[in-house]
Structure 1
Amino acid sequence: MANSPKTLELTILDREYRVNCPDGAEEKLRDAARYLNEKMQEIKQAGAATGKVLGTDRIAVIAALNIAHQLREVESQQQGLNQDVRQLHAMIDDALDQDLQLEL
């Protein structure tokens, strides 16, 4: 029998949300909710510091955009690292091929 999703209660920006979560992923979802809550609180406080009162929907969209931007930056860095690793593998393979040729 497949594991049925659990329902978790999460608090984000002082509001309670009930969300389904696959069995075994509860802590990761709680961690993601904590991260989102922190980012939304930062945006809310920044707005309050400038005298602006931002609605929850606007705070959520700004947080989502910031997190999506961070994700895209990390993906771009990862692609660069993957390319570096491929180049290193090729260099190692070339060096090993040359070493084998010298032994023959």
Structure 2
Amino acid sequence: MPMVAKSDLSTGNMVHASYLLRSVRDGLMMQLIAIEVQDAELAYNISVTNGAKPSSSPVKLDEGVVLSEIWLYEDVVLRYLNFENTNQSCPQVPYALQT
């Protein structure tokens, strides 16, 4: 599958790597959806308790960012994020289109 866009160290994203791929069958595809919640650990635990398949157990990153992940459907992951510093929000991450 050809890469259409990316966000990683080469584009200035020091937090994670994201890649947008083009699928021959379905066009553009995504493999991760991230949402901001009040408590990423609690959201993960409630999801798993209610039958969700865990992908990544809760982890605390730099600057008080907590993330956890569950499998949403097929090969798509749902990422829960919360920011302990209430003045912080999701960083603006540059994406580089591939030509």
Task: Give the shorter-chain TM-score range.
Answer: under 0.3
Which structure has more relative contact order (CA 8 Å, sep 6+)? It is 2
Q: Between Structure 1 and Structure 2, whose CA radius of gyration is higher? A: 1
TM-score (norm 1): 0.25
TM-score (norm 2): 0.26
Q: Which structure features the higher share of strand residues?
A: 2
Q: Which structure features the higher share of helix residues?
A: 1
